[in-house]
Amino acid sequence: MNKIAQDLPALRGRPESGKLAGLGFVNEGLGYNPVVYDLMFEMAWRDGPVDVQKWLDDYVQSRYGRSNEDARRAWQILLETVYNGAHYTRSTMDQMPHLRAAPKLPYDNARLAEAWQALLAAADELGGIDTFRFDLVNVARQVLSNHAAVLHGAIVQAWQTKDASALQSASQRFLDLIRDLDKLLATRAEFLLGRWLADAKRWGTTDAERARFEWNARRVLTIWGQGASLDDYARKEWSGMFGGFYLPRWELFLNELNESLRSGQPFNEKEFQGKLRRWMADWSDERRVYPTQPQGDRVQMAKMLWDKYEKSLW
Give pLDDT, residue 86: 75
Give pLDDT, residue 192: 98
Give pLDDT, residue 117: 98
Residue 29 has pLDDT above 90, yes or no: no
Give pLDDT, residue 294: 98
Question: 226 or 184: which carries more pLDDT confidence?
Answer: 184
Give pLDDT, residue 8: 83
Residue 57 has pLDDT above 80, yes or no: yes
- Give percent of the chain above pLDDT 90: 79
Work out the pLDDT band at 12, boundaries 50, 70, 90.
confident
Residue 149 has pLDDT above 80, yes or no: yes
5-14, 54-63, 250-259, 285-294: range with lowest mean pLDDT:
5-14
Beta bridge partners of 28: none
Residue 49 has pLDDT above 80, yes or no: yes
Residue 30 has pLDDT above 90, yes or no: no
Mean pLDDT throughout 195-203? 97
pLDDT single digits (tens) 269-289? 999 999 999 999 999 899 999
Work out the pLDDT band at 35, boundaries 50, 70, 90.
very high
Mean pLDDT throughout 183-200? 97
pLDDT single digits (tens) 216-270? 999 999 998 777 788 898 899 999 999 999 999 999 999 999 999 999 999 999 9
pTM > 0.85: yes or no: yes
Give pLDDT, residue 25: 81
Mean pLDDT throughout 157-182? 97
Minimal CA–CA distance to 35: which of 68, 71, 69, 89?
71
Give pLDDT, residue 283: 95
Identify the CATH class of 51-312: mainly alpha
Residue 16 has pLDDT above 90, yes or no: no
Minimal CA–CA distance to 62: which of 84, 85, 38, 36?
38
Give pLDDT, residue 11: 84
19-33, 137-151, 182-196, 243-257: range with lowest mean pLDDT:
19-33
Q: Crossing angle, helix 164-185 and helix 130-160, to 10 degrees?
A: 170
Give pLDDT, residue 45: 87
Mean pLDDT computed over every residue of the chain: 93
